[in-house]
Structure 1
């Protein structure tokens, strides 16, 4: 088995960093120079909870570990800056898995426009990846969950339902539809659109990670309003329809409550033109809670680790 420090040196060699990174890997801590307030979030991926080795290759796990964090920064309307990655794994794990994981981290960092500036490694019974992401408000106020007002338009940017459909396919031993499986392995975060929404006047925003209804419910609760989703405005991807037909599960359930989409959902003032790539799906109303087509939704609204 390769030694810890040799492995760290191997996976951190030749890191690319953005201009706001003053000191990167190689010291006790990194130094980042930001223009506005600092926005910080963290997420953890645990083997057999968030992924399985025989479902997701190491490269995909590395990409996903970055994507799910930077998606949260996007939801604040800030500019993502950098990430640190902590990885724990069994001593018996093939070092090539770690190499592939780190390659995935680097690839997603390039796609997201963030710098990998450090982290940690340790041994554990199962693979655990914990990423902390840092963003910059660039002098603007962050977009929170608390600003939605009655009359606002509810809109989304990104994929809905594919990840949940991909999970069901994998659970049943299938590697297709590819669009759904790949989306579950590595979510397609609409990078840059959080900032676009903020500049377009978004009043509230959230990353769709637990499920569209569950996350919109967070916005409704935080803002003291009601939100109604109009299903006639939702599009069902072909891969979702195929999984639904094969399993007998309603396609709409994947879209409304599938989870791990990592799309962005936001509210915009009435009369505001939506940015390109954003799709209207409902409206903010007086009251509390979430409705679908004007009625209470029967069924789970999304994922709950302790539910």
Structure 2
């Protein structure tokens, strides 16, 4: 896993303010992948990307320093990887294959240039293996680091998988992990990253099941979404859009609880709060018709039931504890 503490600054290493915009771009652009769908890479006023389906999926997300990450324990590579993953997961949640991203970056002048180069390497580390191009963006000065990514995807001739398609009787399934990022964040905040390096690594650089989105679409998923703000909060969004109730199987959450149990014991926290309410794991929550074989990466965790739309239950009861992340309510 990456070291959870930033490296010691290198004496006389260049800072952002030491370079012109052109000089900084000259250090970043060669690190970025072109991608399989890119016809015209960075260098002009805009890039050109293929859209063979005739439609394209587009989404955008933002990372703000000290709101979504902290430089005291996040390397540039961590932030770049996270920025890519959280956007590509939204593309995958529509059942699409990600094709390209553009990045708007605002940085303070006293930021080391190698931190910015690390961010580019983090973006490339996620995007290049998927054939996703980093095809352009913008640079600006700011009092703190802000990273905004816009991602595009190709539906490959399939209908998009919406949040609103879940039907009573469907199987509720999940791909990825639950609660691991929340556990890692809690350990970092407590100054105890050594107690669960895997959880800390997942918080710093989440790994999302990106190939699982298109696989779910091909398998006939009726609804799907990225779990970025916690299982209860995002599950409630899917349930409300579909006008149904999601009933989680408590026993099916056992492996997730076991995965974070040691960290919860160390910190005196409830593992269930992390699994149900922890965000930034970027797994995929989907519903499938009963009897349809689930894609290999998905695991059944409950059922879709009739009732007042928007409710998420555990074994038929309303769970207590945190409901997930809200960007304005905390």
Q: Give the TM interval when normalised to the shorter protein.
A: over 0.9
Q: CA deviation at 1:111?
A: 3.5
Give the distance between the partners of 1:102 and 1:156, measured in 2 at CA: 30
Cα RMSD for the two superposed structures = 1.2
- With the length of structure 1 as denominator, give the TM-score of the two structures: 0.97
1:94 aligns with 2:112: yes
Please give the secondary structure, in 1, of the residue aligned with 2:193.
coil
The 4+ residue runs of structure 1 with deviation greater than 3 A are: none
Give the distance between the partners of 2:204 and 2:216, measured in 1 at CA: 26
- With the length of structure 2 as denominator, give the TM-score of the two structures: 0.91
1:199 aligns with 2:218: yes
Work out whether residues 257 and 275 of structure 2, in 8 Å CA contact, stay in contact via their aligned partners in 1: no
Please give the secondary structure, in 1, of the residue aligned with 2:164.
coil
Aligned position for 1:178: 197
User: What aligned pairs does 1:44-83 form with structure 2 within 5 A after superposition?
Assistant: 44-83=62-101
Q: CA deviation at 1:238?
A: 5.0
Give the direction of change, closer, same or farther, for the CA distance of 1:106–1:14 in structure 2 (3 Å limit): closer
Give the distance between the partners of 2:43 and 2:234, measured in 1 at CA: 39
Work out whether residues 70 and 112 of structure 1, in 8 Å CA contact, stay in contact via their aligned partners in 2: no
Aligned position for 1:144: 162
Between Structure 1 and Structure 2, how many residues are aligned? 307
Task: Select the residue among 17, 22, 27 that pairs with 2:44.
Answer: 27
Aligned position for 1:157: 175
Please give the secondary structure, in 1, of the residue aligned with 2:256.
coil
* Structure 1, 68-77 or 18-27: larger mean CA deviation: 18-27
Give the direction of change, closer, same or farther, for the CA distance of 1:62–1:15 in structure 2 (3 Å limit): closer
Q: CA deviation at 1:239?
A: 5.0
Please give the secondary structure, in 2, of the residue aligned with 1:245.
helix
1:274 aligns with 2:294: yes
Work out whether residues 31 and 120 of structure 2, in 8 Å CA contact, stay in contact via their aligned partners in 1: no
Give the distance between the partners of 1:18 and 1:116, measured in 2 at CA: 7
Work out whether residues 81 and 125 of structure 2, in 8 Å CA contact, stay in contact via their aligned partners in 1: yes
Query: Which residues of structure 1 form unaligned runs of 5+?
Result: none
